[in-house]
Amino acid sequence: MRLLTHNMLSCNIKGVTNGFPLGLEIVKHEVKEVEFNSDFIRNMFVKIEWKALVDAAKSMGYEELPEEVDSSMLESDEFLKRFHHALLELHLEEGALVCPETGRKFPVVKGIPNMLLNEDEV
């Protein structure tokens, strides 16, 4: 699971109001190279919840993203490449996503997050 997917997902249990961002429990993570597309990355900038991305990347040991950002940084190739790396190249292979409100864990197996709910959570 890439961190762009993580940035979209929130806890879907009925009644949860604050289900984003999901915490990361990491058993195994991987880095897989992806071709760099600066237009796409620039486009993503306004859509991403920055803090969620920074924290998720940190939990995978990647600390090169600035805490504070503004759109002037999009001029910098160096910044775009770091953003690209965090968003698209870091993968959670095995572990779990954790609801920030209830602590419910959603397992991630072979890179696929399992967001299925039990009957009493729907």
Partner 1 sequence: MKLKQLESYLGNLEQFSNPKIELEQYPTGSHIASRMLYTAENSFGDISGKVVADFGCGCGTLSIASALLGAEYVVGIDVDTESLEIAGENAEDLEVDINFVQCDINNLSLRGQIVDTVVMNPPFGTRKKGADMNFLAVAMKVASQAVYSLHKTTTRDHIKKTVLRDLNAKSAEVICELRYDVPQLYKFHKKKEVDIAVDLWRFVPQRDQER
Q: Which residue among 1, 53, 60, 86 contacts partner 1 (CB under 8 A)?
A: 1
Distance CA 49, CA 69 (A): 11
Q: How many Cα neighbours within 13 Å face the side chain of 80?
A: 16
Beta-carbon contacts of 4 under 8 Å, excluding residues fewer than 6 positions away, are 44, 48, 87, 88
With binding defined as CB under 8 A, does residue 19 bind partner 1? yes
For residue 64, CA distances in Å to 23, 53, 80, 97 come to 19, 12, 11, 22
Question: Among residues 48 and 63, whose Cβ is nearest to partner 1?
Answer: 48
Residue 65: CB atoms within 10 A of its CB come to: 19
With binding defined as CB under 8 A, does residue 111 bind partner 1? yes
With binding defined as CB under 8 A, does residue 100 bind partner 1? no
Instruction: Read off the amino acid at residue 58.
Output: K
**Backbone dihedral region of 48: left (phi > 0), alpha (psi from -120 to 50 degrees) or beta?**
beta
With binding defined as CB under 8 A, does residue 8 bind partner 1? yes
Shortest Å distance, C-beta 95 to partner 1:
15
Query: Scanning residues 37 to 76, which ones bind partner 1 (CB under 8 A)?
Result: 37, 39-40, 44, 47-49
With binding defined as CB under 8 A, does residue 23 bind partner 1? no
With binding defined as CB under 8 A, does residue 27 bind partner 1? no
Footprint of partner 1 on this chain (CB under 8 A)?
1-2, 4-5, 7-12, 19-20, 34, 37, 39-40, 44, 47-49, 88, 110-117, 122
